[in-house]
Structure 1
Amino acid sequence: MCLTELDGMGPDLTWDDEGTCLVAYCSWSENSIPMKPVIGRAAIRDDFARFLPQFDVIQWELLHQVASGNLVMDERTDTFSIGERALTFRVLGVFEVTGGLITAWRDYFDSAELAELPSVLGQ
């Protein structure tokens, strides 16, 4: 399954290739901050393309993964780096999978851990 391909996604990610593991109607949301879900493969790719290129290195370290039926849950740490500045925070990713493709992707995290993001971005 393509979930293992998510590890190591970074600013040089080829979204045309990565997007193939998402169904065309996939929804993605970060449920720990006020944000409407992003619906559709192209919209998800575009949303990530606006955010991810700000960083020199992006690492998603998978700590644990469990699956039951069409539900896959990942415990991971995400690290976003620019030069010497880095922010690492804990994430729980929930994926709904049908036919080997992600149909829904939800991330949950402690928004307090993101308080340092402006300093990482140099703001």
Structure 2
Amino acid sequence: MSTEQSQIIAPDALPGAITRYLDAHRVRDTDTALGSFRPDATVTDDGRTHRGAEAIRTWLSREASQYTYTTELTRARKTGPDHYVATQHLEGDFPGGVVDLHYRFVLVDGRIGSLDIEP
């Protein structure tokens, strides 16, 4: 399914692994957030790729303590089989203070296999 054919879905229609990750990340629950990922998953954020559970745990812990911010899930799309995009509106004490980020998920066997985060 190309971007032109992506389907807007209700945020509560996102798969459980994505919802668990987003909810846990919002409340800074690193263990629950990490449990949403496959052990061999990758996360690309801010131009850096984090591979595997320990690297993702370090990234999650750093993200939880680096800035204070609020998030609001504003849009969800299914862009292909097991491919989803969740758009989150963030406001906080990070540079710029306000941003809409697109969280691009690929699920593998019901868990997050990869996550790319970009504006």
TM-score computed with the length of structure 1 as normaliser:
0.69
Q: How many aligned positions are there? A: 102
- In structure 2, C-alpha distance between the alignment counterparts of 1:42 and 1:88, rounded to whole Å: 29
Q: Which residue does the alignment assign to 1:66? A: 77
Higher mean alpha-carbon deviation, 13-22 vs 94-103, is at 13-22
Paired amino acid for 1:88? V
Q: Is this contact kept in 2: 1:7–1:62, CA < 8 A? A: no
Q: Which residue does the alignment assign to 2:50? A: 38
Paired amino acid for 1:106? D
Could you report, residue by residue, the CA deviation over 1:84-110 in whole angstroms, capped at 9, with x for unpaired residues?
A: x9812011111000122000000111x
- In structure 2, C-alpha distance between the alignment counterparts of 1:37 and 1:102, rounded to whole Å: 15
Unaligned runs of 5+ in 1: 110-123
Q: Which residue does the alignment assign to 1:4? A: 19
Which residues in structure 2 correspond to 1:1-123 (within 5 Å)?
A: 1-5=16-20, 6-7=22-23, 9-10=25-26, 13-30=28-45, 33=46, 35-56=47-68, 58-67=69-78, 68-81=80-93, 87-109=97-119
Superposition deviation, residue 80 in structure 1: 2.9
| Percent identity of equivalent pairs | 15
Q: Is this contact kept in 2: 1:9–1:60, CA < 8 A? A: no
Paired amino acid for 1:49? S
- In structure 1, C-alpha distance between the alignment counterparts of 2:89 and 2:98, rounded to whole Å: 7
Unaligned runs of 5+ in 2: 1-15
- In structure 2, C-alpha distance between the alignment counterparts of 1:49 and 1:8, rounded to whole Å: 12
- In structure 1, C-alpha distance between the alignment counterparts of 2:57 and 2:90, rounded to whole Å: 18
SS of corresponding position for 1:79: strand
Q: What is the root-mean-square deviation in Å for CA atoms of aligned residues?
A: 2.4
- In structure 2, C-alpha distance between the alignment counterparts of 1:91 and 1:59, rounded to whole Å: 12
Paired amino acid for 2:28? L
SS of corresponding position for 2:25: coil
Greater C-alpha Rg: 1
- In structure 2, C-alpha distance between the alignment counterparts of 1:43 and 1:108, rounded to whole Å: 19
